[in-house]
Amino acid sequence: MIALRVEVPIACFRQSHAREYIETYPVPPPATVYGMLLSVLGELNCYSHCGTQLAIALAEKLEKSTVIRTVHRFKTRDVADSSNIRLDYQELVTNVELFVWVVAGSDKSRPNLPERIQEAFANPASITRFGGLCLGESHDLVNAINIVGEEQQKALYWLVQSRTGYLTLPYWVNHVGLKGTYWKRYELQKLMQPYPLANAWTEIQPYQHDSS
């Protein structure tokens, strides 16, 4: 198991069904966190570490703000047409302090994802990647990401699976359309818990039968 601490000053974890009003989830979904971890390694194949299990916790609940931003929505073939550009409201969260635990689970790659992350921090020159490291949208740059000790000495807001949870978050995303995107139900629980509980783990798979 490897544990990471991630800092992001400003982000939007866009809700899957958000359209004109761009709402944000109050916590980055497992699919978003998995994408960030692949980006750390410069890995372009999202299937490369299927079976990896993630646990996610926030240091504090995130505060939301609303801004007006320019959004491109292509209504005509001419990309320069002014009808393709409009102003929309977007929610943002600030001062994201995130903890992520990663275990190999049923990831059959060799090396597996936690081993590759460990190697990336031990030998950064071995990594070939491009662009800034983001969590959320492409402009939501990660300020810092570090390996931390497994034990946490303060209460965290843990993302845990729950049949009655108020959050429905994607753990696998099809970026072409909603078909092939899969969700689970979660809630945030404030716990003085040094290690992830069983219901805090999410397996990253294109599809898996959930019998819980």
pLDDT at position 207: 67
Q: The pTM is what?
A: 0.88
**8-state DSSP, 150:** S
Q: Is residue 194 part of a domain?
A: no
Q: Is residue 184 part of a domain?
A: no
> What are residue 68's DSSP bridge partners?
89
Could you tell me which residue, 130 or 176, shows the higher pLDDT?
Answer: 130
Residue 150 pLDDT > 70: no
Residue 16 pLDDT > 50: yes
Q: Is residue 67 part of a domain?
A: yes
Q: Is residue 206 part of a domain?
A: no
Average pLDDT on 148-161 reads 84
Number of domains the chain is built from:
1
pLDDT at position 189: 96
Going through the chain in order, the beta strands assigned E by DSSP cover: 2-11, 53-58, 63-72, 85-103, 144-148, 156-161, 167-172, 182-191, 202-203
Domain that holds residue 26: 2-151
Q: Is residue 178 part of a domain?
A: no
- By percentage, how much of the chain surpasses pLDDT 70? 86
Confidence of residue 90 (pLDDT cuts 50, 70, 90): confident
Residue 20 pLDDT > 80: no
pLDDT at position 70: 72
Q: Is residue 208 part of a domain?
A: no
In CATH, what number is assigned to the domain containing residue 16? 3.30.70.2660
DSSP for 106-145, please give it: T---SS-HHHHHHHHHH-GGG----S--BSSSTT-B-SEE
Residue 208 pLDDT > 80: no
How does pLDDT run across 178-204, given as a tens digit for each residue? 577 888 999 999 999 888 999 999 999
Q: Is residue 171 part of a domain?
A: no
How does pLDDT run across 28-78, given as a tens digit for each residue? 999 999 999 999 999 999 999 999 999 999 999 999 999 887 776 666 777
Average pLDDT on 109-123 reads 96
Q: Is residue 191 part of a domain?
A: no
